[in-house]
Amino acid sequence: MYIGCGVFPVTVALIRLCFWYPNLCKVEFNYSGWTSNHGMQLDKHGLQVFSSCCTSLTDLTLSFCTNVDDSGLRLLACFKKLMSLRLNTLPAITSSGLLQVAIGCKNLSSLHLIGCNKVGGAMWLEYLGRFRSLKELVVNRSFSCESLVDLTLARVSTKKEIGLRYLLRKCKALKNLCLYYVLGVQDNDIVTLSNNCSNLTSISLRLTPEFNEGHVFRTSLTDHSLKALALRCSKLQSFELIFWGCDEIWPEIGFTQEGLVMLIQSRPIRNLVLSGAHIFDDEGMKAISSAQFL
Ligand SMILES: *[C@@H]1O[C@H](CO)[C@@H](O)[C@H](O)[C@H]1NC(C)=O
Ligand SMILES: *[C@@H]1O[C@H](CO)[C@@H](O)[C@H](O)[C@H]1NC(C)=O
Ligand SMILES: *[C@@H]1O[C@H](CO)[C@@H](O)[C@H](O)[C@H]1NC(C)=O
Ligand SMILES: *[C@@H]1O[C@H](CO)[C@@H](O)[C@H](O)[C@H]1NC(C)=O
Ligand SMILES: *[C@@H]1O[C@H](CO)[C@@H](O)[C@H](O)[C@H]1NC(C)=O
């Protein structure tokens, strides 16, 4: 069922629709082009009534619903079977409303979030990642990469040219970067980072072996990345490197001890974390003991 501007009063209409169509499972509201002559839009009260009479709903789209705010979003938990939710241009909603959706809508498997510009923090996203089994997530928010300062990407895949490299090229103001188990990350991504993010002060890499070109099974970044960081990221102060699932024999770590020492000695590193880095031995420790700012 598609419900546009002309349906008014919407609460009365919803009660009737649900009565005539008790199996209604997919509903879209779209108030694009709405003017006050159209009468009141769907609001919290309307959603409350709707949730009590439309018990089969699995798929809901709310587009340009200016009267739906965080308190309205909280009511979406009342749709017990809701699996797919699209929120398009809801100017009033914030992260706290979305967190309520993440907590309340236990069966959510698809979420589209488009043009909801007040949504900031990422607690809702973290909650979805940890406690829900989301299969599809689309977030389109025209935020400005140019002013992004902190960026954390965890357990995502990237591809050559698109994805990570494309993003990093634009993030000129980036100070803190965390890449946790990013599949497909390559030296060229880090080279791009070092060319374009001259203000980088902190980088955290968590790496696990993966199949690289030539089918070598090892962590994908090599000393080329360390060289690029050493050459261009003059403000780098904090460096964290955590390896998971690597072994001395196989699968290997892509970095060498020399490469790591070179980076640590050539930048004013104050904070250093190495974990699972068995390429490091007493020689390496001796070398970093001369790092001035550590
Ligand atoms: C909402 O309605 C507008 C105007 O009728 C239309 O252009 C737009 O595609 C619709 N949006 C969605 C998400 O269907
Ligand atoms: C949740 O979704 C699963 C299938 O994905 C379905 O079997 C189950 O009945 C749903 N739960 C509710 C409350 O609708
Ligand atoms: C993101 O949303 C804006 C405005 O709603 C739209 O113009 C743009 O095409 C969308 N981009 C993608 C990739 O969907
Ligand atoms: C880098 O940091 C300096 C000092 O905080 C700031 O003035 C400059 O605008 C930053 N550069 C970019 C590209 O954001
Ligand atoms: C990123 O750095 C490269 C190499 O210095 C440069 O050619 C490119 O213009 C930079 N990208 C942006 C968006 O500034």
Task: Kindly report, residue by residue over 255-279, the tens digit of the pLDDT.
Answer: 999 999 999 999 999 999 999 999 9
What token pair was written down for 176? 């803190």
List pocket residues of ligand 2, CB cut-off 6 Å: 80-81, 107
What distance in angstroms lies between residue 269's CA and the mean position of ligand 5's atoms?
A: 25
pLDDT (mean) for 84-101 = 96
Q: Please report where in the chains the tokens 């965080």 appear, as a residue.
A: 70
What distance in angstroms lies between residue 155's CA and the mean position of ligand 2's atoms?
A: 26
Quote the pLDDT of residue 82. Answer: 97
Tell whether ligand 3 has an atom less than 6 A from the beta carbon of residue 140.
yes
Task: Kindly report, residue by residue over 32-78, the tens digit of the pLDDT.
Answer: 999 999 999 999 999 999 999 999 999 999 999 999 999 999 999 99
What token pair was written down for 141? 């928010």
pLDDT (mean) for 109-134 = 89
Quote the pLDDT of residue 222. Answer: 96
Tell whether ligand 5 has an atom less than 6 A from the beta carbon of residue 232.
no
Domains and CATH numbers, the chain: 1-144 (3.80.10.10), 146-294 (3.80.10)
Conformation bin of residue 155: beta by default, left when phi > 0, alpha when psi is -120 to 50:
left
Choosing from 188, 196, 199, 200 the residue with most ligand 5 atoms within 8 A of its CB, the one to mutate for a pocket test is 196
pTM comes to 0.68
Report the mean per-residue pLDDT for the chain: 93
Judge whether residue 156 has pLDDT over 90. Answer: no
Helix (H) or strand (E) holding 95: helix 95-104
Judge whether residue 143 has pLDDT over 70. Answer: no
